[in-house]
Amino acid sequence: MLVKDAVEDYLHYISVVDQKSLKTIASYHNDLKQYECFLTNTALIDRIEDVNFAVLQEFVGELGKVRKPSTVNHMISTLRTFHQYLTFTYPQMIDPTLYLHNSRIGSRLPKYFNEKDIIKLLDDFGDSDQEIFDHAILELLYGCGLRVSECCSLTLNQMHLEQSFLRVIGKGDKERMVPMNQRSVKIIRQYFDLVRCNWAVKRSPYVFINSHGKPVTRQYIHTMIKQKLREEGLDESLSAHSFRHSFATHLLDGGADLRVVQEMLGHADIATTQIYTHVQNKRLKQAYERFHPRSVKEEEK
């Protein structure tokens, strides 16, 4: 089978049969077209059956020279599912990804706001249309632990203000229910009653629309947050995702069960959620070393 045909076969499968989301299909398309280009132009391989482990190693090695380990690992995941599909569909083929290992990624603890700073930031909004709009977005990012993409794609029928919860469609089109605090509900109602009703020049299903009635973009949210951090004199290395990190960290600090936090974040694997327990452990250790009399270093005695 020609490499091009194999790629098209798989893309057809995930879009028509498996019915992946448009975002997921686009991601696979980009990865596999890059892989196809390498095979046909660099490795000079026309048939997918001729791909072996050495060819994959060369491709991943070249990619690793110009891309971050996380990007390389995303590509490796794509290659695994692609070749697994081929070997399942065409049993005569051999899977060359069997011994392909992920790149090592240094462990980084997520950056988050302390409670004092995030309350200061969220309480410092005016009553102009734009500030009410921005405030509503940030209240949901922190109050519900949303990803920026989830916030942008949030629709009116996913929001249940009377019952104070959101129905969130996350990665892989997985659905989860997330409670809303009363502060978030109040700000969202204010946005609906005072701002959105004037901006919705055309009927839009999206919760967050700009003054032209278009859905808010991720770029707008990232830029708005950077500007707000600068205005408040807060750490500018914090980001939109730091609101989600803060949501999880503050819940665990308050005694929430790890499994409950996992469910509200929409993590498929609890190991992903456990990174926040590492944040707690690091902070506990710092407090111990600072305040316990037995933790004083020898040279300080």
What is the pLDDT, as a whole number, of residue 207?
95
Active site residue 294: no
Strand, helix or coil at 120? helix
Active site residue 147: yes
Could you give the CA distance from residue 227 to residue 223 in angstroms, rounded to a whole number?
6
Question: Which band of pLDDT confidence, cut at 50, 70 and 90, is reported for residue 280?
Answer: low
Active-site position among 83, 147, 196, 245: 147
Residue 279, C-beta contacts closer than 8 angstroms, at least 6 positions apart = 109, 110, 112, 249
What is the pLDDT, as a whole number, of residue 292?
66
User: Does one domain contain both 26 and 125?
Assistant: no
| Listed residues 243, 260, 293: the one ending a domain | 243
Q: Looking at 160-164, 202-206, 253-257, 273-277, which range is the least confident one?
A: 273-277
Residue 127 belongs to some domain of the structure? yes
Per the structure, the complete domain to which residue 203 belongs is given by 116-243
pLDDT tops 70 at residue 281: no
Edge-to-edge strand list for the sheet holding 159-160: 159-160, 165-169, 175-179
pLDDT tops 70 at residue 254: yes
Question: Which band of pLDDT confidence, cut at 50, 70 and 90, is reported for residue 301?
Answer: very low
| CATH number, residue 217 | 1.10.443.10
pLDDT tops 80 at residue 243: yes
- The total of other beta-carbon atoms located within 10 Å of residue 133's CB is 22
Give buried/exposed letters for 247-283 (b at 16+ CB in 10 A, else e): bbbbbbeeeeeeeebbebbbbeeeeebebbeebeeee
Mean pLDDT of the chain: 87
What is the pLDDT, as a whole number, of residue 211?
85
Residue in 68, 71, 72, 93 with CA at minimum distance from that of residue 82: 93
Strand partners, 167: 177
User: Does one domain contain both 123 and 239?
Assistant: yes
Residue 297 belongs to some domain of the structure? no
What is the pLDDT, as a whole number, of residue 299?
46
Share of the chain above pLDDT 70, in %: 90
Question: Which band of pLDDT confidence, cut at 50, 70 and 90, is reported for residue 148?
Answer: very high
Active-site position among 135, 228, 244, 250: 244
Active site residue 13: no
| Listed residues 89, 104, 138: the one ending a domain | 89
User: Does one domain contain both 126 and 224?
Assistant: yes
Active site residue 160: no
What is the pLDDT, as a whole number, of residue 223?
94
User: Does one domain contain both 131 and 216?
Assistant: yes
pLDDT digits (tens, 9 = 90+) for 32-41: 999 999 999 9
Segment 193-203 shows an average pLDDT of 85
Active-site position among 4, 120, 171, 186: 171
Question: Which band of pLDDT confidence, cut at 50, 70 and 90, is reported for residue 258?
Answer: confident
Active site residue 241: yes
| CATH number, residue 35 | 1.10.150
What is the pLDDT, as a whole number, of residue 225?
94
Active site residue 267: yes
Residue 85 belongs to some domain of the structure? yes
pLDDT tops 90 at residue 119: yes
pLDDT digits (tens, 9 = 90+) for 58-117: 999 888 888 888 888 889 999 999 999 999 999 888 899 988 887 665 556 678 898 999
The enclosing H or E element of 179 equals: strand 175-179
User: Does one domain contain both 76 and 124?
Assistant: no
Number of folded domains that form the chain: 2
pLDDT tops 80 at residue 31: yes
